[in-house]
């Protein structure tokens, strides 16, 4: 079955710097890659997603890149702010009939230092 | 629009007891998923409903877990009898189309003593 590895498990950056979180997946049939942000005590919130027909997607300070050949994808946050502090989860899914389940990485605890 | 809601937010029970968790998906979302996060590990898939039908239940850990979605609206997840290793946060998510974006509820934190 699908396996998703996420690194690093913890990341601490200075406010204003960039943060990068990387994930690798094992199932070459995976074609949908969402990222979720979970603040303490709150629900996982979908912040950006990418499908395998696209190599990069941006939304303001957040971007995701996908390398299908290498089977890895990354989350980039620029100009980090204190409110970016949270646990971030990557996930992968095949998206086809009977296989829409999300397989998650282990999570990255991001801390933005003022 | 209202998001996915879950009830209760917390539940503390003793080993051997029964607990029922409820999830109300976003209105109009035919797809409903259950996940859980145990001991700070990754979020793991349990099962997927399309309307009232179980599309994929490959993640259900054992027959102590029973999920239902009568009428294709809200869903319940019953754990009977509960064991210590069932402790964790149980999330529900819904999507409007199969393979679409999944929106999560706030979770139910289950503690089995």
Handedness of CA A47, A33, B56, B82 (dihedral sign): negative
A42 touches chain B (CB under 8 A): yes
The residue among A32, A101, A107, A108 with the most chain B CBs within 10 A of its CB, best to mutate, is A101
What integer pLDDT is reported at residue B100 of this predicted model?
84
- Residues 83-102 on A with a CB inside 8 Å of B are 89, 91, 93, 95-102
pLDDT band at B38 (very low <50, low <70, confident <90, very high): very high
Q: Quick one: tokens of B91?
A: 């999330």
Give the nearest partner residue to A105 out of B42, B91, B98, using CB atoms. B42
Min Cα separation A96/chain B (Å)? 7
pLDDT band with cut points at 50, 70 and 90 for residue A96? low
Please report the pLDDT score of residue B72 as a whole number.
86
Q: Which of B95, B99, B106 to mutate to test the interface with A (most CBs of A within 10 A)?
A: B99
Query: Which of B21-25, B49-53, B90-94 is the least confident region?
Result: B49-53
Q: Please name the member of B41, B44, B48 whose beta carbon is closest to the beta carbon of A100.
A: B48
**Interchain contact, B106 vs A93, CB within 8 Å:** no
How would DSSP label each residue in chain B?
A: ----EEE-SEEEE-TT--EEEEEEPPTT--EEEEEEE-TT--EEEEEEEETTEEEE-TT--STTEEEE-GGGS-EEEEESS--GGG-EEEEEEEESSTTS--EE---EEEEE-
* pLDDT at residue B1 in the model: 59
Q: Does B59 touch chain A (CB under 8 A)?
A: yes
pLDDT tens by residue, A3-44: 999 999 999 999 999 999 999 999 999 999 999 999 998 999
Partners of B109 in the β-ladder? B10, B89
Q: Give SS3 for A68.
A: coil
């Amino acid at each position: 079955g699908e396996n998703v590895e996420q690194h690093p498990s913890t990341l601490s950056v200075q406010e204003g710097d960039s943060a990068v979180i990387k994930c690798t997946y094992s199932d070459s049939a995976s074609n949908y890659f969402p990222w979720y942000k979970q603040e303490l005590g709150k629900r996982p919130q979908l912040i950006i997603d990418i499908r395998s027909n696209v190599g990069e997607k941006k939304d303001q300070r957040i971007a995701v890149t996908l390398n299908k050949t290498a089977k890895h994808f990354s989350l980039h946050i620029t100009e980090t702010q204190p409110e970016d502090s949270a646990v971030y989860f990557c996930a992968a899914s095949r998206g086809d009939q009977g296989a829409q389940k999300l397989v998650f990485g282990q999570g990255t605890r991001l801390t933005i230092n003022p | 629009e209202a998001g996915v809601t879950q009830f209760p937010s917390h539940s503390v029970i003793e080993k051997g007891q029964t607990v029922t968790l409820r999830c109300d998906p976003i209105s109009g979302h035919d797809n409903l998923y259950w996940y859980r996060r145990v001991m700070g590990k990754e979020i793991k898939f349990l099962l997927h409903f399309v309307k009232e039908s179980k599309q994929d239940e490959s993640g259900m850990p054992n027959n102590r877990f029973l999920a239902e979605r009568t009428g294709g609206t809200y869903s319940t997840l019953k754990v009977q009898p509960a064991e210590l290793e069932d402790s964790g946060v149980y999330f529900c998510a819904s999507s409007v189309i199969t393979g679409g974006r999944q929106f999560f509820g706030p979770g139910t934190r289950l503690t089995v003593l």
